[in-house]
Structure 1
C-alpha cells in the first residue's frame, strides 16, 4: 500500500503583513502543507500561535528546516531569506516588490542553485491570462494592443505591476501595448487586454473580487515549486 506523500514544509516570511496573515489562515485549509515557521520584523509576542513557531527576522537562521519559503516582506528583508533558501537548498516563492537591480541579480544567481519564483501577481487566473495574451499577440501581428487596469484609490503605482507583466507577455508575442490606469473606490484589481483591427476586436478580461486569491496562488506555487530542479520559474509554469 502506497503511503500518502508528506506535506510540504512552509516558512512564511513577512507573516505579520496582510498577505502573511492570509497565508497562515489559508494554509490551515490544506492537507498538503504544514507551516513550520512564521517570520516577522518585530519580536513575536507569542513564540507559538496555533501550532506555528514564530520568529523575528533577526532569528531567521534559527528557523527549522523547510521545503519552501513564501516571502511577502520588504526589500530590506529580502536578502536574508534569499540567502537562507540558497544555503538550505529550499525553494523560494516571493511577491516582494520594490527590489533593487542588485537584488534581482542575486535572485538570478540563486536560481542556479534553488527553484525560485518571483511574481507581481499570484492570481492563477492572471497567469492563464498572461499566456492567452502572448498567444493572441503572436497570432495577430499588426493588431493594436491596449491594456486597461483598475485598482482602489490607495494604489499609487500606475500602470500596475500586473499590467506591465501582461504587457511583457504581449511584447513577447510581438505586440506593442499601450496602457491606461484607473483608480476608483475599493476595486481589488481588474485587468482588461484588447486586441483591435479594422472590423473586429478581441477582449480578454480578469477581475479579482477577493484578495485571498493571491495567497491561494502563492500556496499553490510553493507546493508545485518545492523539490523541483533549480531554475527561475513563472507562475504559469506551475499551473499543472
Structure 2
C-alpha cells in the first residue's frame, strides 16, 4: 500500500514516517508539508537520519501517486487535502481535530466519493476506553455526575480536545442525549449547585504532555474513574496504519476507529 503523510516535518509527521517505514506491507510514496515549510526539498527521513528517497513537497497533485493519505495537521490544511484526495481518488485517514460544523460536513461529502477514517484519536487504547465508557454510562445512568478532564502540551490549539469531546459524546449517546444539550464547558464565579444530567469539562495546557484523559462518574459514597494516558505519539501512528489498511477494501464511506477495530 502506497501512503502519503501530511505535515511531514512536524512531530506527528515524523512519527508517522518512522512508523510507516517499519510496516512490511506499506511504502512511503508522498511526503507533504505547507508551502512555507523550511523542510521542502529535503528527504522525508532526514530528521530521522534515514534516506527514504522521497522528497518533501507542497504539491497536492503528488497525491495521485498514493493509495491513502494520513493527515494529522490543522483543519484548514486538511480541508485542502480532502479536495485533492477526492480529485485523485486517494483514500484518507484524518486524525486532525478542531473542525467546525462546516468542516465536518465537508468530510461527510467527501466520504461519498472516497473511503475516509475520521477519528479524534487513532490510539487503540483510547478506542477501547471509549467502549468502556459506553458500558459504564449505560450502567451509571442515574445518581452519578460526570466530569471529563483532559491535559495536553502547551502547543495544542483546540480545547477541549477531540478525544475529550468524543468521550462526552459517547456518554451522552448512551443516555439518549445530545452532548450539545447537556455539556457544561466552563465554570467561573458563583455558579450555583451542579445540575443533574450534565457533563462537565476541564482542560489543562502545559509543557510537553502528550495526552491525558479521565472520565469521572461521581456518585454518593463512591467515584469511578476511567483514564487513558499517552506517553508517546507512537500509539496514534500505529492506529493510523491500521486505519489505512482498513480502507484498503473501502472505495467510499465514512468510518471511525470503532469500525476499524470491529467494536461497532
Q: With the length of structure 2 as denominator, give the TM-score of the two structures.
A: 0.78
Q: Per the alignment, do residues 186 and 179 of structure 1 end up closer, same or farther by CA in structure 2, a change over 3 Å counting?
A: same
The residue number in structure 2 matching 1:214 is: 236
Structure 1 unaligned blocks of 5 or more: 1-7
Residue 170 of structure 1 aligns to a residue whose secondary structure is helix
Q: Per the alignment, do residues 48 and 187 of structure 1 end up closer, same or farther by CA in structure 2, a change over 3 Å counting?
A: closer
Q: With the length of structure 1 as denominator, give the TM-score of the two structures.
A: 0.85
Give 1:197 deviation, angstroms. Answer: 2.6
How do 1:161-180 and structure 2 match up within 5 A? Answer: 161-174=162-175, 176-180=198-202
Structure 1 CA distance for aligned equivalents of residues 44 and 152 of structure 2: 36
Alpha carbons 2:64, 2:89 under 8 Å: kept: no
Structure 2 unaligned blocks of 5 or more: 46-50, 176-196
- Structure 1 position 110 matched with structure 2 position 110: yes
> How many positions carry a matched residue from both structures?
232
Structure 2 CA distance for aligned equivalents of residues 168 and 16 of structure 1: 32
Structure (1 or 2) with the greater strand fraction:
1
The residue number in structure 1 matching 2:32 is: 39
Instruction: Give CA-to-partner distance per residue, 1:133-182, whole Å, 9 cap, x none.
Output: 12211222112222122233454544322211111111111164222223
Alpha carbons 1:36, 1:52 under 8 Å: kept: no
Q: Per the alignment, do residues 16 and 89 of structure 1 end up closer, same or farther by CA in structure 2, a change over 3 Å counting?
A: same
How do 1:2-13 and structure 2 match up within 5 A? Answer: 8-13=1-6
The residue number in structure 2 matching 1:144 is: 145
Alpha carbons 1:159, 1:181 under 8 Å: kept: yes
Please give the root-mean-square deviation of Cα atoms over the aligned residues, in Å: 2.4
The residue number in structure 2 matching 1:4 is: none
